[in-house]
A = this chain, B = another copy of it.
Amino acid sequence: MGFENIVACKPVGSGEGVFEAVNPSTGEKIPGQFQIADSALIDSALKAAKEACQLLKNIGGANKAEFLRAVADEIAAQTSNLVEIAMAESGLPQARLQGEVNRTTGQLRMFADLVAEGSWVNAVIDTAQPDRVPLPKPDIRKLLMPLGPVVVFGASNFPLAFSVAGGDTASAFAAGCPVIVKVHPAHPGTSALVGEAICKAALSTGMPQGIFSMLYDAGYTIGEQLVKHPETKAVAFTGSYNGGMALIKLAQQRHDLIPVFTEMGSINPVVFLPEALKSRPQELANKYAGSIALGAGQFCTNPGLMLAVQSPGLDQFVDTISEAVKATPSATMLTGGIWQNFQKLSEASIAEEAVSVIAQSTNINQNNINQAASVVLKVSGKDFLNNPKLQQEVFGPLSILVVAENAEQLEKIVETLHGQLTVTVMAEKAELSAYRSLLDKLNNIAGRLILNGVPTGVEVCAAMQHGGPFPATSDSRYTSVGTSAIYRFARPVAWQDWEDSLLPKELQDANPLNIWRLVNNQWTK
């Protein structure tokens, strides 16, 4: 079985060779050959995308919503096939992938609702004041327009929800941008099915064909060329710090400047306050043993750092999490490379001076390869402060418990942390007021603050902020999850003294789309 690249919603052959997917649980190749793309396909994809822009920017929200819902429907219709292929390609369990299909279709439908309603364009109208002195005031109206062709990199750890039709693609489509996906080579078969679903939906809802292309590569060449292509107007990426920064550096070689949103993960510190540790040490320990191991630790919001002050409650917490971690079953990591990297980095962390192992899973699946064993390490607050290497993300089920001498040291540690996607506080309500100074510093370093929960599990909704100060993302002003993700791909355009009938409907006097607008500084509908 051979798979061609998709250019402007059509399969196109290339002669650059092929690659195959690998089952990470067995190391065996999965039947099916994927053609590696080439420069000519990139040019064709971007040329078609540019042409599609001219049509797409004038397609109404209702039509865009119809397309997004059709993509969701086409994907939903393939659920069992998708789950089967994705299980083989990713080593992730069935229930997780079933949930991910639902999240993927849910995201598409959420963006469909957003653009069907229409107020997301942030329409602002200031009407004319011809009699104003010393100068008359013109009529000015603005709204958001699509940026242009967006290159999306499929993420390894969400073969559906952050891959071909994932959050980046859905938000770019919703903004009215064509998308060129660089397929993640770890799940090309899953990608092929999803790509086909998008093409079907584009055809059935009358979208311009240039709205979607999807290119395969076993290495980095195609991605590099896509980021540097003159017609690329934005890039979206979820992955490692090294991968994200490589794309940023490539984009810096362009003649122009384009937004490159890279979500590069973080260590998601969790602060355990003493009363919580005293009153429910076992509960917290079991909850966190589970969060650390979830998805083999392969989440951007995996809790890689736990912070607490020495106390008897902490000792009980350590005892329980130690037992829980030892018993946690190993899990297949997404690829052999990710597993090797986890092994290397976790061994390096263990070898760091003054770091000790609290527990490591002994419940290893011997039938499969690339098995990640949960591990929890310990270091003193002082030693943590002296060793910046311990802030490095280890992608996988590893967490470091930092035991501070006292509350002051705990606060000092928080001050030294790099930018994070999340910070979590586990606390009793009554003790929170004693930590106001500490709590007030948490929002300096993170995009999302969680109380008495776990950072894993990112709700997809309007209020979600999945982003954070560098190095968590390349631009803390944006999110890659939730409806606000659309704002990465749109820019304001203002019309001054324009003819009403020639304005976008969103800005016409009669407000024919009945959207919320800021008119002369008042929100009205």
Contacts and interface: CB of A to CB of B under 8 A. Distances in A.
Interface of A: 53-54, 57-58, 99, 113, 119, 124-126, 134-135, 137-138, 140-142, 145, 147, 248, 252, 256-259, 429, 432, 436, 439-441, 443-444, 446-453, 457, 459, 461-465, 467, 469-471, 474-477, 479, 484, 487, 490-499, 502, 516, 518, 521, 523, 525
B492 A462 contact: no
A499 B142 CA distance: 38
A115 to B, nearest CB: 13
Contacts of A474: 257
B449 A493 contact: yes
A441 to B, nearest CB: 8
Contacts of A126: 459, 461-464
A449 B484 contact: no
Contacts of A451: 495-499
B502 A439 contact: yes
Contacts of A449: 493-496, 498
Q: Quickly give the copy total for this chain.
A: 2
A499 B463 contact: no
A286 to B, nearest CB: 18
A43 B87 CA distance: 54
Nearest to A117: B521
A259 B140 contact: no
A471 B451 CA distance: 44
A299 to B, nearest CB: 15
Given A459-B138, A477-B490, A521-B462, A499 B429 contact: yes
Contacts of A248: 257
B492 A484 contact: yes
Contacts of A443: 57, 145, 493
A407 B386 CA distance: 69
User: Which 9 A/B pairs are nearest by Cβ-Cβ distance?
Assistant: A465-B494, A140-B463, A126-B463, A476-B491, A256-B470, A124-B463, A450-B496, A448-B494, A126-B461
B523 A452 contact: no
Contacts of A494: 447-449, 463-465
Contacts of A492: 447, 465, 467, 477, 479, 484
Contacts of A452: 497
A248 B256 CA distance: 11
13 contacts: A54-B444, A57-B443, A126-B464, A257-B470, A259-B475, A436-B502, A446-B493, A448-B494, A448-B495, A449-B493, A449-B494, A450-B496, A523-B525
